[in-house]
């Protein structure tokens, strides 16, 4: 391997890691928009503006799919081009937790609407709190995985 090639690898690696972090930031911003859009949707009750909300869900789904696709490409490059199965494993775990987070977020939105539609039934409020606790646990797991990724990716420098 030429010295020019060796010199390019770390910057390429660093660019890949930076892009991964940027994608995670985009994902967090998409969640924020999703939550704000759902809050706006709930304010349209009891005759919900479902058409507008469905469009939001469509846009957010497209954003999440694009982000996931690129994250998986980074995972493959880290594994194959940089021989970092440890980092690709972190990304694999992260993707699983992100999928769970999205499922929990959708469940939470449905539970919030049910709680709003049935204010007299305390069980709906309890369900909302239960799902919120699951989301907190999920976010803690995501945070741990990101810490491991950060530690291991900086270890390479």
pLDDT in tens, 14-66: 999 999 999 999 999 999 999 999 999 999 999 999 999 999 999 999 999 99
> Do residues 128 and 111 lie in contact, with contact meaning Cβ atoms separated by under 8 Å?
yes
The domain total for the chain is 1
Q: How confident is the model at residue 155 (pLDDT cuts 50, 70, 90)?
A: confident
Query: Which residues are CB-neighbours of 44 under 8 A, at least 6 positions away?
Result: 52
Which CATH number belongs to the domain containing residue 52 in this structure?
1.20.1420
Which domain does 99 fall in, by range? 3-155
DSSP 8-state symbol, 45: T
CA distances from 155 to 14, 95, 114 (A): 12, 22, 48
* pLDDT (tens digit per residue) in 68-122: 999 999 999 999 999 999 999 999 999 999 999 999 999 999 999 999 999 999 9
pLDDT of res. 54: 94
Reply yes or no: is the peptide bond before residue 59 cis, omega within 30 of 0.
Answer: no
Q: Distance between CA atoms of 137 and 17, rounded to whole angstroms?
A: 25
Tell me which H or E stretch contains 44: none
Provide the whole-model pTM. 0.88
């Amino acid at each position: 391997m030429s010295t020019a090639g060796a010199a390019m690898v770390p910057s390429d690696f660093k660019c890949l890691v930076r892009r991964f972090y940027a994608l995670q930031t985009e994902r967090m911003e998409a969640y924020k928009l999703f939550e704000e859009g759902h809050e706006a949707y709930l304010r349209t009750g009891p005759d919900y503006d479902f058409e507008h909300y469905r469009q939001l869900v469509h846009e957010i789904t497209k954003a999440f799919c694009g982000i996931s696709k690129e994250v998986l490409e980074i995972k493959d490059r880290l594994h194959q081009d940089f021989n970092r199965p440890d980092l690709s494993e972190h990304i694999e775990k992260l993707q699983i937790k992100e999928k769970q987070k999205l499922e929990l977020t959708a469940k939470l939105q449905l539970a919030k609407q049910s709680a709003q539609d049935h204010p007299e039934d305390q069980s709906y409020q309890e369900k909302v709190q239960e799902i919120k606790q699951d989301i907190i646990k999920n976010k803690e797991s995501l945070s741990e995985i990101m810490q491991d990724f950060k530690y291991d990716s900086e270890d390479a420098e």
